[in-house]
C-alpha cells in the first residue's frame, strides 16, 4: 500500500522518511522534544530539508540534545559550534538553544516534566487538523501564538508563533497528517 503524503514530503527520500516515521506522530520523549524544538528554531529562514539533512551533525554538535549537557555549555562551546561547518552557524540560534536547555533543566530540577509542560498547551490530546490534499499548513495559529507567548514568559528564546506551530505539527501536538 502506497503511503499518502503531502507534496512537501515527496520531494526527496529523506523527506519521505521524515514524514513516514517522524512528522506529526505524538512525541513524549523529553530529549526528542528538546531536539525537535531546537531543530525547528534552527529552521527559521531556511527549509526543513536543509535542517533535517544536518540532523546527525546537530546531534553530534549538541551532545545528542541531552538537556543537562546542553544546559551546561560554556562560551567555549559556543565558539566550537560557531566553527562547526556541518551545522547552521548562527550565534542567536545557538545561544537560544543553550538558553532553552537551561530553562528545561531548571524546570526538571523543580520537579516539572517538560513533556507535561509541552502537552499541557493542547490539554494532553493532539489537536486534529484536517487539510485537503495540496492545502498548505497555515504558518501559525492562535494556539501557537498563545503557546509562544507563554514559552517566552517562561524564559524560552527564539519562540515565535511560526516556529512553535511548526514544532507543534512536527511532534504531534497538532495532527495534520493525511
> What residues are annotated to the active site?
18, 40, 48
Among 116, 105, 118, 99, smallest CA distance to 158 is for 99
Residue 166, Cβ neighbours under 10 Å: how many? 23
State the helix-helix crossing angle for 30-43 and 91-109, rounded to 10 degrees. Answer: 160
End-to-end, the C-alpha distance of the chain in Å comes to: 14
Q: Is 126 helix (H, G, I), strand (E, B) or coil?
A: coil
C-alpha–C-alpha distance, residues 111 and 109, integer Å: 5
Q: Which of 59, 40, 38 is nearest to 48 (CA)?
A: 40
Which residue in this structure is represented by grid cell 560554556? 74
Amino acid at each position: 500500500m502506497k503511503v499518502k503524503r503531502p507534496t512537501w514530503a515527496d520531494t526527496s527520500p529523506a523527506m519521505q522518511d521524515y514524514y513516514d516515521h517522524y512528522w506529526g506522530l505524538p512525541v513524549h520523549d523529553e530529549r526528542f522534544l528538546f531536539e525537535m524544538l531546537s531543530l525547528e528554531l534552527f529552521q527559521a529562514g531556511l527549509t526543513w530539508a536543509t535542517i533535517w539533512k544536518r540532523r546527525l551533525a546537530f546531534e553530534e554538535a549538541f551532545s545528542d540534545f541531552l538537556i543537562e549537557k546542553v544546559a551546561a555549555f560554556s562560551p567555549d562551546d559556543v565558539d566550537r559550534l560557531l566553527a562547526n561547518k556541518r551545522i547552521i552557524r548562527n550565534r542567536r540560534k545557538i545561544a537560544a538553544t543553550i538558553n532553552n536547555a537551561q530553562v528545561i533543566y531548571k524546570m526538571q530540577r523543580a520537579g516539572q516534566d517538560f513533556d507535561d509542560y509541552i502537552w499541557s498547551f493542547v490539554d494532553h490530546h493532539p489537536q486534529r487538523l484536517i487539510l485537503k490534499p495540496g492545502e498548505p499548513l497555515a504558518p501559525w495559529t492562535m494556539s501557537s501564538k498563545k503557546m509562544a507567548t507563554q514559552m517566552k514568559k517562561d524564559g524560552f528564546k527564539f519562540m515565535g508563533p511560526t516556529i512553535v506551530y511548526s514544532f507543534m505539527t512536527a511532534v504531534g501536538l497538532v495532527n495534520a497528517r493525511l
